[in-house]
Amino acid sequence: MARLIVWPHRFSKRRLLLTLAFVALCTTDVLAQRAETPIVGHYPGGHVGLRGGATPPEGSTGAFNFFRYNHPGDLKNANGGTIQSVNKDVFVNITGAQWSTKYKFFGMNYGGLLAVPFNNIYNRASGQSTEASGFSLGDVVFSPLILFGKQENFDYQVGLAVWAPSGTFSPGASTNHGSGFWELLYSVGGVYYPDGKRNSFAISSVVRIEQNFKQRHTDIHVGDDVVMDWGISGPLLAFGETFKHVFDIGVSGFATTQFTRETGMNAALNTSFYRVFGVGPEMNYYIPAWNLKFLFRPQFEFGARNTTQGHTYWLAVSYKFGHL
């Protein structure tokens, strides 16, 4: 009878030890997959540069196509020291439209924006050949509300946008095309024209607050951040009598900083606030008779803390259709 009592006790103890070992192994595996630094918001700093806060003509619409090449460079810790090289290249093509109607709210024209990105990510892990994620749909952004205003020396705007997790996402996958979480984007900005002329010297700034939500499958609530895009452009240079004010040349940049921490069971190993700055030259080339604008903008990052620090090149073309 004693054996019948002792045997189940030993069996239960063995099962308990095996269970604890399994839990410890799983916990170690989860910790190994946790990122060193927090997840960043959707908005890529530097997306708008020179005259980024400008007010479009009333009742107009336009289409645009951006090509963005980003090399994340090095992953930085909370003190700015290099953790490791990211060994990745990101190619993004963004197609969209922006419109401004004649309808007014609070004395400002109502408008909106839709942008649809497709991306391809090249992972170049050390000692391995390049692996591409394939060209596929990323996370779509839709702004149902942008209000545009204008005064003698100022253009100004306020807006609300929604970023949807439309791109494919699986935790830890190297072939993700999306970030796996929803975002609300609040923006306010404008352009100051010292001499009151829209085709002359301009100082622009647009500030965006990213309110990020929980990432699916990870239990990570992504922290919120604020991004400021800015640009300073010299006078547009006349080019003959037919096409005047063709070139707009200046310097543009951005500043990004987190202000709420990332939380959740699988949050980053270091959840200190991230930040990064970027700056570079920019040139816009206009052909007024064709309603076309071409853009080239390289930006180089510095001062990164708890995020990546690399460089980005922007190429874009936009076309204004005229009145709606």
Q: What is the pLDDT of residue 93?
A: 97
Positions of E strands within 106-212: 108-123, 131-132, 136-137, 141-150, 154-163, 183-192, 202-212
Beta bridge partners of 84: 75
Q: What is the pLDDT of residue 131?
A: 78
pLDDT in tens, the chain (324 residues): 444 434 344 445 555 444 444 444 343 334 336 899 999 999 999 999 999 999 998 889 999 999 999 999 999 999 999 999 998 999 999 999 999 999 999 999 999 999 999 999 998 776 566 778 889 999 999 999 999 999 999 999 999 999 999 999 999 888 899 999 999 999 999 999 998 888 889 999 999 999 999 999 999 999 999 999 999 998 766 655 555 667 889 999 999 999 999 999 999 999 999 999 999 999 999 888 888 999 999 999 999 999 999 999 999 999 987 644
Q: What is the pLDDT of residue 112?
A: 96
**Spatial CA neighbour of 94 closest among 133, 46, 127:** 46
Q: What is the pLDDT of residue 127?
A: 58
**Spatial CA neighbour of 118 closest among 91, 141, 97:** 91
**Spatial CA neighbour of 98 closest among 123, 53, 61:** 61
Instruction: Identify the residue whose tokens are 């004649």.
Output: 102
Q: What is the pLDDT of residue 240?
A: 56
